[in-house]
Amino acid sequence: MITARDMYRDLNLREGAGIEEIKSAYRMMAKSYHPDSVSARDNASPEKFRKAYEAYKGLLRNALSGASEGEKKARSEEVTGYSPYVFSAKRTSGLNVFYDLILERPQAGRSVRLSLPVVRGEACPRCLGHGSTLKRQGGGFVYKPVACERCGGAGFEERELKIDLTLTSGMLERGKVRVRSMGAYDHKEGKRGDLVVNLEFAEKLPRNN
């Protein structure tokens, strides 16, 4: 059984640190240890990252169980549509993007509507993913050795959008929803990952004030 004390320790925090401190400690740990983090490099440690992530989730869940409706609302801005939602964290693994959501348990048989922010990567429409400037020449087109001015040579662009999900009571019971091809985009391989939403439920706790 992991105690709150362990969780604070895993985030290098003093016991009783507030939500903003918990968040920034987690961001630091993710930067230092996440395998995809550029600044982690040789220090990357999936194990340390996982511990920090679990601690972050656990501490926020504890903190938010007693939070007022106003505080919860402020934290549900990112994921909208279901206001008694308690916590969300986003992480990636390869091309798959995961949302871990902790919601207040909805009434039996009720569906839940959520709006999730996602980043949709697309091949750049100007250079068709090549990254170089496409110029008309003779009867056809050639690529000039000049970076495409639309995407700056990246070959793809990212669009932020929201996807709306209606989670039926069957989906809520399974605790997991997978949306194909809405994860990250690898433009070189032309591959897309999935968006995976993991659901957990927190019982509504009596207010202590």
Listed ranges 19-27, 45-53, 63-71, 142-150: which one lies at the site for Zn ion (CB under 5 A): 142-150
Listed ranges 73-81, 97-105, 124-132, 191-199: which one lies at the site for Zn ion (CB under 5 A): 124-132
Task: Decide whether 89 or 147 has the Cβ nearer to Zn ion.
Answer: 147
Question: Is residue 148 close enough to count as binding Zn ion by CB under 5 A?
Answer: yes
Listed ranges 37-45, 64-72, 120-128, 176-184: which one lies at the site for Zn ion (CB under 5 A): 120-128
Give the bridge partners for 192, in sequence order. 185
Question: Is residue 7 close enough to count as binding Zn ion by CB under 5 A?
Answer: no
Residue of 124, 195, 196, 197 that binds Zn ion (CB under 5 A):
124
Q: How far apart are CA 63 and CA 89, in angstroms?
A: 15
Total residues found in the chain within this entry: 209
188, HSE (Cβ side, Cα atoms, 13 Å) = 3
Task: Decide whether 82 or 143 has the Cβ nearer to Zn ion.
Answer: 143
Residue of 126, 186, 194, 198 that binds Zn ion (CB under 5 A):
126
Give residues in contact with Zn ion (CB under 5 A).
124, 126-127, 148, 150-151
